């Protein structure tokens, strides 16, 4: 499955007036990404494709550049790390725990997942960008995400991992974004 990336590694954006008091969190999430990649975030002017931050009941985003005005929903329940996770979806990355090699690293406990949320755990055939599985990824769910009864939904096969963290991009998250956007080529002196 081919992911559509943002032209020239630039993501134009708008922020709904309803989110004025959360704009600093959006800018902080942008900084988490732009500090470690060639990806830039610019206020929307006339670009056809742009991300529109909207108030919502949760945090959610489409994966990749969809074309035209693209919503990213951002509720008060979402912190900067969750917001960064959703922006990375919009940039083109799927959840790490949906990779085709995930069963070597985790066990999904299907019976523990809330009905209607099982789709978030299904394997995608997306490009791994020739990078290994990253259980510490900001794009990986934690052990209790969408649990219907307080039991684990995702069980790591390795102990001592920081699965589900939302504090930083892992080294492999950074490599993955930089490969997806060909940052090594973009950052070469002209």
pLDDT in tens, 158-171: 998 989 999 999 99
| pLDDT for residue 190 is more than 60 | no
What is the set of active-site residues? 86
Nearest to 153 by CA among 163, 144, 162, 161: 144
CATH number of the domain residue 150 falls in: 3.40.390.10
| pLDDT for residue 187 is more than 90 | no
Pair (102, 140) in one structural domain: yes
Pair (99, 160) in one structural domain: yes
Strand partners, 15: 53
Looking at the 3D structure of the chain, how many domains does it have?
2
Pair (46, 110) in one structural domain: no
The share of the chain scoring above pLDDT 70, in percent, equals 97
Residue 186 pLDDT:
79
Nearest to 101 by CA among 137, 139, 128, 119: 128
Tokens for 62? 């489409």
Pair (12, 60) in one structural domain: yes
| pLDDT for residue 189 is more than 70 | no
Confidence (pTM): 0.94
Pair (63, 135) in one structural domain: no
How do residues 82-99 score in pLDDT, each as one tens digit? 999 999 999 999 999 999
The response to whether 124 counts as a known ligand-binding position is: no
- Whether residue 183 is contained in a domain is answered as no
Structural domain of 42: 7-92
The response to whether 94 counts as a known ligand-binding position is: no
Strand partners, 107: 155
């Amino acid at each position: 499955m081919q992911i559509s990336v943002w032209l020239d590694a630039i993501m134009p954006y708008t922020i709904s007036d309803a989110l004025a008091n959360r704009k600093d969190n959006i800018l902080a999430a942008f900084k988490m990404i732009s500090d470690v990649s060639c990806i830039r975030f610019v206020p929307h002017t006339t670009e056809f494709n742009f991300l529109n931050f909207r108030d919502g009941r949760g945090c959610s985003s489409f994966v990749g550049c969809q074309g035209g005005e693209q919503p990213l929903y951002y509720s008060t329940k979402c912190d900067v790390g969750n917001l960064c996770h959703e922006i990375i979806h919009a940039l083109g990355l799927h959840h790490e725990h949906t990779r085709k090699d995930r069963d070597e690293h985790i066990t999904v406990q299907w019976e523990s997942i809330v009905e209607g949320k099982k789709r978030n755990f299904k394997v995608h055939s997306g490009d791994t960008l020739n990078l290994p599985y990253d259980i510490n990824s900001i794009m990986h769910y934690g052990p209790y995400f969408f649990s219907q009864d307080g039991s684990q939904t995702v069980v790591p096969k390795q102990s001592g991992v920081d699965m589900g963290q939302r504090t930083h991009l892992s080294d492999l998250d950074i490599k993955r974004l930089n490969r997806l956007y060909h940052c090594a080529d973009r950052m070469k002196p002209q």
